[in-house]
Amino acid sequence: MERWSLIAITLAISLTVRWAVSLNPYSGAGKPPMFGDYEAQRHWQEITFNLPIHQWYFNTSSNNLKYWGLDYPPLTAYHSLICAYVAELINPEWIALHTSHGYESLGHKLFMRATVFVADLAVYVPAILCYIHHCEGPESKKVSSMLCALLYPGLILIDHGHFQYNSISLGLALWGWLGLVFDRVLFGSVAFCLALNYKQMELYHALPFFCYLLGNCLKRDLKGEGMMRLIKIAFTVLISFACCWLPFLTSLQQSLQVFQRLFPVERGLFEDKVGNVWCSLSVILKVKEVLSPQIQVWFSFAATLLTLLPTCIKLTINPTLKGFKLAMVNCSLSFFLFSFQVHEKSILLAALPVLLLLHEIPFMATWFLLVSTFSMLPLLLKDGLLLPYTITSLAFLLVTTKLLSAFEKVSVEDLQLQPFSQGVRRYIPHFTIPAHLVKLAAYTLVQGNESQMTSSANHALNISRCLQERR
């Protein structure tokens, strides 16, 4: 009974934080003519509800692709259609063709925020609960890990603040991982196929899934049980994709148009101030101007492939669940750092597997998750989310520090760096990882977040003074 009470309290806290963040501004609020991601999601509801399905991805007089044209896979479009049916019941003006562009009202904001909240609660939150329940350890540690994972500020700020539905694709990917954990590979394959058909960025996680399943089949002997398992998985994937793409398989033109919308090469190597290699390199060398788009694509493909190949080969040869989690981290970071058309929000795909390691290596995971949130700060500032960013980041830091003792477990054993140390000692005999440097890094992290809080408080105080002077 006490366990369920703690879980209920944990859920109440995490859901309250989500709703509190949703009370803040969203992407593009009051910023015509394009507004922002909030308008993009609303517009997709408008398009999918009012136009026949064969026009969803095509440029027509009723569907201007330059005004937030659909550029996500079919499952996102189907989700938009479901939301549109609900919106039509409440207020048809919200999704009226053409006339609803840039629609803003308190009632509509409440509806849109509720759709994200429900999606998070229906897909992502149960997956986190199920994963933490599977982890080893005492119940108190499981509940603590659950609260920390659900309070990750990056996902909360982007979905419930900026406005997106990343919790659906990430939640489905997590359900795919759970299918592998419980040896329900067909369920896991379906779940990940759905994640990939909701957002194409789930390609960041695709190779670890493929390599783990292939390696698992190879270990079972491809002449017998392993071959049957591989055939079942292949058929499951094909059927899952066919079901999602069925309306767009009526002609080659339809399929190619959707594919072109999913991978828009013309949009460039990266967008805005994203923390990847190409954006950092552009400070010294303007890659976008020096190289043609076609060469940029090949360069990014080669760099991404080379950096993730060792991890994928190792996972195929030795498919373990621990190796799978680490491979997800490495591959998603390879894609984020080197792939083509990277957004700031893509760091969430690397954050998901790190969340799966939070209870094992709390210090390194906490450090990474806070830095990943910080990397999106320019985007959050643009949306007016400085205060919720500061508060949620400090809350996450406080919870991981107190409940998971993140800054106390910094020995080589706690950080699981023993194999790394032994490997380096083959070439540098007296190599050690000094714990005091790790603690110094932890202290710097804490101080940095405290200074952010102070800066945010001063900013809020200045705004309050300005408002008082105007009155």
Cis peptide before 32 (omega within 30 of 0): no
Question: What was the pLDDT predicted at 105?
Answer: 94
pTM: 0.89
- Which pLDDT score is estimated for 443? 55
Tell me which residues of the chain have a pLDDT lower than 70: 1, 409-427, 430-471
pLDDT reported for residue 327: 95
Q: Residue 78 CB: number of other CB atoms within 10 A?
A: 16
Which residues, other chains included, contact 182 with Cβ-Cβ below 8 Å and sequence gap of 6+?
A: 134
| Amino acid, single-letter form, for residue 5 | S
Other residues' Cβ atoms within 10 Å of the Cβ of residue 428: 9
Whose structure tokens read 């849109």? 112
The torsion angles phi and psi of 133, rounded to 5 degrees, stand at -60, -30
End-to-end CA distance of the chain: 54
Identify residue 17 by its one-letter amino acid code: V
Taking CA 106 as the corner, what is the angle to CA 101 and CA 111, rounded to the nearest 5 degrees? 80
| % of the chain at pLDDT higher than 90 | 65
**What distance in Å separates the CA atoms of residue 341 and residue 264, rounded to the nearest whole number?**
8
Buried b vs exposed e over 81-111: b needs ≥16 C-beta within 10 Å? bebbeebbeeeeebbeeeebbebeeeebbeb
Spatial contact of 14 and 147, defined as CB atoms under 8 Å apart: yes
- Cα–Cα dist 48/467, whole Å: 43
Query: What pLDDT, in 10s, does the model give residues 33-60?
Result: 899 999 999 999 999 999 999 999 999 9
Distance CA 354, CA 69 (A): 32
Task: Output the pLDDT for position 3.
Answer: 75
Q: Half-sphere exposure of 90 toward its Cβ, with a 13 Å CA cutoff?
A: 13
pLDDT in tens, 342-397: 889 999 999 999 999 998 888 889 999 999 999 999 999 999 999 999 999 999 99
Written as six digits, the tokens of 425 are 């000692």
374, 344 in Cβ contact below 8 A?
Answer: no
pLDDT of residue 172: 97
